[in-house]
Structure 1
Amino acid sequence: MLLTPLLAFLPLLEAKHVEKVSPAALKEYTLAADGITASFIPFGARLKSLRVPDAGGAWREVNLGYADAQGYADEAAPSYYGAVIGRYANRIRNGTFTVDGVTSRIATNEHDGKNTLHGGRVGYDAREWSVLSANSSSVTFSLMDYGFEGFPGNVLALAQYSLSAGKLTTVLTAHALDRPTPILLTTHSYFNLGSDVSSTVLQDTLHVKASRVVGVDGILVPTGQLDYVAGTNGNERHPLNFTAPSAVSQALPAGLDHCFLFDRPSPLEVTEQLEWRSAATGIRMRVRTNQPAIQVYSCSMSDGSASTQLGKVERFGCMAIEPQGWIDGISHPEWLQNQVYSPGSAPFVNVAEYVFDTVEMGAGPSAVREETARDEL
């Protein structure tokens, strides 16, 4: 999408964060295509519902969220369900970073000020986005970020969602308008392909094309270490080794909350990097993206207290899938991840495709590995 025509509309794209979320921000925009339906709301540019057929042909809700959109506005603490995360996703140590010799101190909102999570106290998830366009198969939201939470400069962000046969495509774009600034956007959708959050995803099969993860400390802030996980410990697979299809339970007891670094060179094209299969419904989701990494969180902190349109979420009752850059890369120049964008430079662009179909129900990891090996021949 061209930036120049949009600049004329800047006065109309003013971001809103008010104590009471407006009814317009909670209006649903419903899209449909062959084998898939979805709905979105402007508050957080958020995915509210996603329905696909299971192996028996029954339509299933696979996205976690609230049945009533008012639930997002009424949250006492952010769930981030289905929202766009920005200006910088995941964690930044101490809420500080330096760009061109200038140190910025942004709002901290986790662990008594030890880090910034998902853009700060009021991130993109808690903002009222504008609707730029909408039709039966696509909707585009926009947000004018006037230095929110202490980030340098102004940024124009766009979130486009579109449906085609069995596929949801998200395109997140951000333009630095007047100063160099770090940008790292993602979507924070939680899924349960079994459509039942009272049951866990532990028997589902996960395949991630990544042999390394970002090492983190006790509060999940990156340490700078990159951990190799594709090997074995004696006869045991590393619990984070999903380079071949494996049961999600392999990551027990702690579960997953890790940034997987894909095994592919730059420049990055939109290619398949993750596959997830439900043992209960036969629904398969394949994720194709241009991003260099993906955060996978298996809802280990859920305790049955959170109510969603799929019911109360039990521990390991879902997984969040977040295609993005290397987390806290702005604090680790040794990684050589350029996450700073400047006026006049190419914009930040995050493309992700979620492709849904069905496979044999109940097929375990071994059968899936054999099928994957045949497909790769």
Structure 2
Amino acid sequence: MDITIRTVNDRWKLFTLTNDNGMEVQFLNYGGIITKILVPDKNQNKKNIVLGYADYKDYESDPNFLGAVIGPVAGRIKEAEFTLKNKNFGLEQNDGNHHLHGGSNAFHRVIWETETIKTDDKAGVTLSYVRKDGENGYPGNATVAVTYTLTNKNQLMIDYEATTDETTPITLTNHSYFNLTGDTNNTVHTHQLMVDSHQFLELNSGLIPTGKIIDATDSLFDFREGRELKNGMVAGSEQNKIVGNGYDHYFLFDHTKEKNVIVRDKNSGRVLTIETDQPGMVLYTGQNIVKGLELDGGSSKKYSGVCFETQSSPASLHHEGLPMIILNPSEIYKKQTTFSFYVE
């Protein structure tokens, strides 16, 4: 196990975690941004399987949130406002009339404090940040920690922890775009996906959940037996079309299978499995990726990566019966998501 640290500029540092198998995970203290995950294919060719910029400076103006820590609230908040204890809180409208991913200068834009961790079978870094009361419109001083850990089992574990001195909404995630082919010239259309879920949240034309939970059984949103992503991209349902031909929906996990998510790329043989204690995830197939950005390995285009944003639902601020995101001063927000890689 190894940890190396390289200075990118006067404020940014690039951390590289390497395990005994040669798997690598690279990330910045800026935004906690994962820039590369290098894993082998069935022929032992090691390639980067997440989207990242060729020039690190592009992360400062990134419209796609590539690889970043998202918070304090991942996802969209309707009309950029919410009410807590009979008090209304107004947020930045950075997605039409709505509030997206904590605001334009949220956790994906801050410099995180770092502390390294290393043992015989794992290497990691804890990133920490104190969100001040009123920052981006959110109440409470919140102390947040995100730990990236690489193991010799080719697992990337992401642990999230937060406390607050005032009741506040918090749900954190990572916004990495995966492309298991290892080639940005390829899209994720043929990625085979299994999701342990039979329910998802309906969206309106503004991509805001209506509060209605839809049964996915026998639809293009039923991934329990596995299906290719292209099914919902090429000739999708109205819900697929409303997001621009693809998926940008919150799936509620059934938590009935050992793995919450399994992703396969048949050509490379790479397989990604995801295990989490989060109640669900947003599946986003990258249909809104800005075209022509210079990425590591090629130029960006629609569908060049897919996100698995494990989290609770910000729609719970406006609708009952959904996974809550409220954290009280007496509580500790503590969640874990593990990404495991192998070949078949």
TM over 0.5: yes
* Equivalent pair of 1:29/1:134 in contact (CA under 8 Å): no
User: TM-score scaled by structure 2?
Assistant: 0.89
Task: In structure 2, give the amino acid aligned to 1:101.
Answer: N
Q: Counterpart in 2 of 1:28?
A: 14
**Aligned partner of 1:315 among 297, 302, 324:** 302
* Equivalent pair of 1:186/1:350 in contact (CA under 8 Å): no
Structure 1 position 335 matched with structure 2 position 321:
yes
Q: Counterpart in 1 of 2:37?
A: 50
Counterpart-to-counterpart distance in 1, 2:20 and 2:44? 13
* Equivalent pair of 1:222/1:327 in contact (CA under 8 Å): no
The DSSP-based 3-state class of the residue aligned with 1:98 is: strand
The DSSP-based 3-state class of the residue aligned with 2:317 is: helix
Task: In structure 2, give the amino acid aligned to 1:91.
Answer: R
The DSSP-based 3-state class of the residue aligned with 1:94 is: helix
How far the C-alpha of 1:350 sits from its partner, in A, is 2.2
How far the C-alpha of 1:318 sits from its partner, in A, is 1.1
Structure 1 position 105 matched with structure 2 position 90:
yes
Structure 1 position 203 matched with structure 2 position 194:
no
**Aligned partner of 1:247 among 228, 242, 246:** 228
Task: In structure 2, give the amino acid aligned to 1:42.
Answer: N
Alignment of 1:53-68 (within 5 A): 53-68=40-55
Structure 1 position 80 matched with structure 2 position 61:
no
* Equivalent pair of 2:64/2:289 in contact (CA under 8 Å): no
How far the C-alpha of 1:93 sits from its partner, in A, is 0.3
* Equivalent pair of 2:313/2:324 in contact (CA under 8 Å): no
* Equivalent pair of 2:129/2:143 in contact (CA under 8 Å): yes
The DSSP-based 3-state class of the residue aligned with 1:259 is: strand
Task: In structure 1, give the amino acid aligned to 2:224.
Answer: T
Counterpart-to-counterpart distance in 2, 1:302 and 1:286? 24
Q: Identify unmatched segments of 5+ residues in structure 1.
A: 1-21, 232-237, 360-377
Alignment of 1:25-174 (within 5 A): 25-35=11-21, 36-73=23-60, 75=61, 77-111=62-96, 114-135=97-118, 137-147=123-133, 148-164=135-151, 165-174=153-162
Question: Relative to 1, partners in 2 of residues 1:34 and 1:230: Cα closer, same or farther, differing over 3 Å?
Answer: farther
The DSSP-based 3-state class of the residue aligned with 1:264 is: coil
Matched-pair identity in %: 27
How far the C-alpha of 1:69 sits from its partner, in A, is 2.4
Aligned length: 321
How far the C-alpha of 1:287 sits from its partner, in A, is 0.4
* Equivalent pair of 2:71/2:101 in contact (CA under 8 Å): yes
Question: Relative to 1, partners in 2 of residues 1:271 and 1:95: Cα closer, same or farther, differing over 3 Å?
Answer: farther
1:235-264 residue CA offsets vs partner (Å, 9 max, x unmatched): xxx122111111111112311211111113
Counterpart-to-counterpart distance in 2, 1:297 and 1:25? 31
* Equivalent pair of 2:63/2:290 in contact (CA under 8 Å): no
Structure 1 position 257 matched with structure 2 position 240:
no
1:207-241 residue CA offsets vs partner (Å, 9 max, x unmatched): 0011111111112111111111122xxxxxx1221
The DSSP-based 3-state class of the residue aligned with 1:189 is: coil
Counterpart-to-counterpart distance in 2, 1:201 and 1:101? 45
Counterpart-to-counterpart distance in 2, 1:338 and 1:248? 28
Q: Counterpart in 2 of 1:175?
A: 163
Counterpart-to-counterpart distance in 1, 2:255 and 2:85? 29
Question: Relative to 1, partners in 2 of residues 1:303 and 1:120: Cα closer, same or farther, differing over 3 Å?
Answer: closer
Counterpart-to-counterpart distance in 2, 1:320 and 1:275? 13
Counterpart-to-counterpart distance in 2, 1:46 and 1:121? 15
* Equivalent pair of 1:202/1:247 in contact (CA under 8 Å): yes
How far the C-alpha of 1:134 sits from its partner, in A, is 4.8
The DSSP-based 3-state class of the residue aligned with 1:220 is: coil
* Equivalent pair of 2:173/2:311 in contact (CA under 8 Å): yes
Counterpart-to-counterpart distance in 1, 2:59 and 2:53? 7
Q: Counterpart in 1 of 2:237?
A: none
Q: Counterpart in 2 of 1:19?
A: none
* Equivalent pair of 2:314/2:324 in contact (CA under 8 Å): no
* Equivalent pair of 1:262/1:293 in contact (CA under 8 Å): yes
How far the C-alpha of 1:63 sits from its partner, in A, is 1.2
1:141-191 residue CA offsets vs partner (Å, 9 max, x unmatched): 111100321101110110100001211000011111x21001111111111
Larger deviation, residues 60-69 vs 39-48: 60-69
